[in-house]
Amino acid sequence: MSTPTYFQKYLKQGSLFFFAVIASCAVFAQCPTSFGIYYWGGQLNGVDSAHIIPTAKKLADSLGVKTIRLALISNDDQVYKKGGPCLTGMNLTAIASRPDFNAIITDPQFSTVIITAYDWTSFGDCNTQNFLDSTFYTPSNTAAIELEYTNLANYLKQFTSKKFIISNWEGDNAVYCGAAYYYPNCATAPAGLVGFRKWMMARAAGINAAGAANVKVGIEFCNIHSLEAAGKPSVLDNVIPGVYSDYYLYSSYESINVSAIQMSKDIDFIRNKLAGFGKDSSMLMIGEMGFGRSNWGNAAAPDSLQGIINVVKQKRIPYAIAWVLIDSPTNFGAFDSTQVITSLGTIIKNSACQTAPTGIESFKKTLSMQLAPNPGKENVELLFSEPLDQEALIEIRSVSGQLVYTEYPKSTGEKSRLLTLKNIPSGMYFVRVILTDGSESTLKMIVSP
């Protein structure tokens, strides 16, 4: 049987997922970039703490954006509710399902929700950054981290009309004591990079274990020049090559604070690096961009933002997130503290993708499957809960995203597929099944020594 035409581009590109190919094409056909807004705290005059989040959701809706980014973390109420308590004893699923945050997550306007997630296992007391401590990753702690992200992905996958990207906050700044741009003598760096890498691996393993086609793995970095110039390790160079991720988020202040021209050059710079690592460079997105009116001036800030937006469109970046929904102390907001839209908000509103891209948010089939045995050694059988009514392409990838095995499409009606593992080294892998309608599912697999 010849390979169907809808898989030909996939097979030529090798390292690209078929689903990513059709998703990218669908986005580019209607809206090169989906511009979104980051909702991270801010002040609203005259609004009590119980109504801040619902009011902010209405403001985000009024911008017309179809992508929103928010944080799920133990200090959420301290940030979002004007100084509430640390949310100890909770977990990611509990905060995601809380009515106020859940109303944002399930809002029909937002087809893509990007979540800055910090699990309670490694950051449950609002203070201790265990995720940077390489010694923290005992088997039990690692399993607990994975489980927390699996549970979150299982909760989110029920909202099948949406895409979720689970990421972190500016990885380089996290490692370098909040100031990677200046590469200070940070006591936790570069040793913290080892812990950060383990954290990223555990997160990806947990998310992928849920087999949620609409829940994706992201990793955010923020430094591409100053650390490299100082001979210091960075997330881009020293973490991303060895971990699995679907999206690569660049918090772009190191570029945009120079010029739009620099931003254009840096996008090319990052994409070239990603391609060199064997990653899908088309999945680079802008995790943060923005200008403060009090820093740049009421005219310069929106003009500068518009210049960056133009570059991002030209470079066909799939998602770009503007900082921030409600004014921070330096006036980055799309709305000021009186809920009036700002000059920056007007630029964002005019740039929002008004037409929902097709082919991304619709996952036509829930694919249920299991591996037996797992762990396996030489052969593992992939069992489907019901005979497939579509042809299926199967991949096995390492935790770093390297493609180690491909099974080409076979005819419909399959109930199982035998996978030969004798040439695959022992370790943890992800088995991904991709159907011709773009549906997909992923399982974690252990190959025994």
Asked which of 321, 351, 381 is the last residue of a domain, the reply is 351
Asked which of 297, 328, 351 is the last residue of a domain, the reply is 351
Q: Count the neighbouring beta carbons within 10 Å of the beta carbon of residue 108.
A: 9
- Calpha distance 383→416 (Å, rounded): 4
CATH number where 232 lies: 3.20.20.80
The pLDDT tens digits of the residues spanning 341-390 come to 999 999 999 998 655 433 333 334 567 888 999 999 889 999 988 888 88
Amino acid letter, residue 76: D
The pLDDT tens digits of the residues spanning 243-287 come to 999 999 999 999 999 999 999 999 999 999 999 999 999 999 999
* Domain tally, the chain: 2
Amino acid letter, residue 433: V
The answer to whether residues 214 and 330 belong to one domain is: yes
Region 386-400: mean pLDDT is: 83
Owning domain of residue 305: 31-351
Mean pLDDT, the chain, whole residue set = 87
Specify if 238 maps to a domain: yes
Which has the minimum average pLDDT: 133-147, 310-324, 359-373?
A: 359-373
Asked which of 351, 384, 416 is the last residue of a domain, the reply is 351
The answer to whether residues 314 and 396 belong to one domain is: no
The answer to whether residues 401 and 338 belong to one domain is: no
Specify if 145 maps to a domain: yes
pLDDT at 390: 80
Confidence of residue 410 (pLDDT cuts 50, 70, 90): confident
The answer to whether residues 61 and 197 belong to one domain is: yes
